[in-house]
Amino acid sequence: MSKLVAPHGGKGLVCCLLEGSAREAELKKAAGLKQIEISARAKGDLIMMGIGGFSPLSGFMTKADWKGVCEKFQMADGTFWPVPITLDVTTAEAEAIAIGSEIALVRKGEVFATMKVTEKFAMTAADKKWECEKVFRGEGEDSIGDKFWQVAEKDHPGVIMVYAQKDVNIAGPVKVLSEGEYPKEYPGVYLKPAETRKMFDERGWANVAALQLRNPMHRSHEYLAKIAVEVCDGVLIHSLIGNLKAGDIPADVRVKAIDILINKYFVKENIINGGYPLDMRYAGPREGLLHATFRQNYGVNNMLIGRDHAGVGDFYGLFEAQDIFDRIPVTGKAGKDLLCKPMKIDWTFYCTECDGMASLRTCPHGKESRVILSGTKLRKALSEGAEIVDHFGRNEVLDHLKIYYAGLTEKVEVKMQGAASGASM
């Protein structure tokens, strides 16, 4: 009998992925359906619905779901969900799709799913603006007053993504037919929720933490993971292996860096290196909640939330992604509420006086003694060929990353926000 937290939604793992003869029959049917080209974001969302990562979702959201999620973190039936999972089409495509009909969802020539369309709803410029206000606007300097819209439309990847969406959303259940490139490109790292749950059960884990990564693992990440190892049965280092913004480090480079670190600096029996197939939304606090929601489906009941979790620029308060967990609705109804809880960790750094990793809660020394660590700061130094400050990362990992940067023919400027620089410490 598993001791792990139950999947979100109270329905067990809801997996929309077809296999074997059922998949072959659906692929054959899909060839005769109207084909809709989908975004990279939608592709990742479909795969997560396929493997049960987005349980209890079995399709793209209705207007009532979309509105409820944006406004009060709940779908129409009262189930907690923090970020809209929607599918956009052009007005012409929407007009050609009848309610109740089936369509094929395609990405670059590959059929990823079929979908029965149950609803169509317009997304006007005002609707998109409202969604961005609710989902992406935070409490940081770039979100204050009119500045949000002065900055966000050109600098916030999530806002840019929403504004680039087509003008109609369609809703309905899906049958997923592909996991894309992930099983072949990331064998042993790309893991389905049923697989991680089995691994946790086999190791006898009941109390599991997850560390979210989109950057190479530096000393602060290592420290966070080790704090969790001390108080939990084990830790899933769970990296995003979908798409990132320009200038971020590709998944294969980051996965290898984690392996290097685990092999030399962790007790391997207490750590699992895994990946999941979503694109980043850069929704800061809301995305922190999404990370906890789908980690619950993977069998995780503790989500490590540190400084500026899933943030971008200076749109979010340093610990806003921690505080938001205290403001989400709690119904007390089985399956409706989020069960994965945050592990709230203060700002961490290397202190030369303490001669080790520390946090604002444990270190009494001044700013001059602290090596401020952040993924953005590391990427900026590596991209510019600058010297890496001592104690920033393990030498073996830094050597691996330097080889990657040396091979780049084009480099993207990495902007340094206040949260990453340590200016606001």
265-271 contact pairs (CB < 8 A, 24+): 265/222, 265/394, 266/225, 266/226, 266/229, 267/229, 269/203, 269/234, 270/229, 270/233, 270/234, 270/235, 271/225, 271/229, 271/234, 271/235, 271/237
143 secondary structure, DSSP code: G
What spatial distance separates the first Cα and last Cα of the chain, rounded to whole Å? 46
Total H helices, total E strands in the chain: 16, 15
Q: 382: part of which helix (H) or strand (E)?
A: helix 375-383
Pairing status of strand 271-276 against strand 234-240: parallel
Core vs surface per residue 151-173: b (16+ CB within 10 A) or e: bbeebbbbbebbeebbbbbbbbb
- Catalytic residue selected from 215, 270, 273, 302: 215
User: Among residues 58, 41, 45, 43, which one has the least CA distance to residue 7?
Assistant: 58
Q: Is 214 a catalytic residue?
A: yes
Q: Is 297 a catalytic residue?
A: no
- Catalytic residue selected from 41, 107, 214, 295: 214
Helix (H, G, I), strand (E, B) or coil at 208: strand
**Active site amino acids:** 214-215
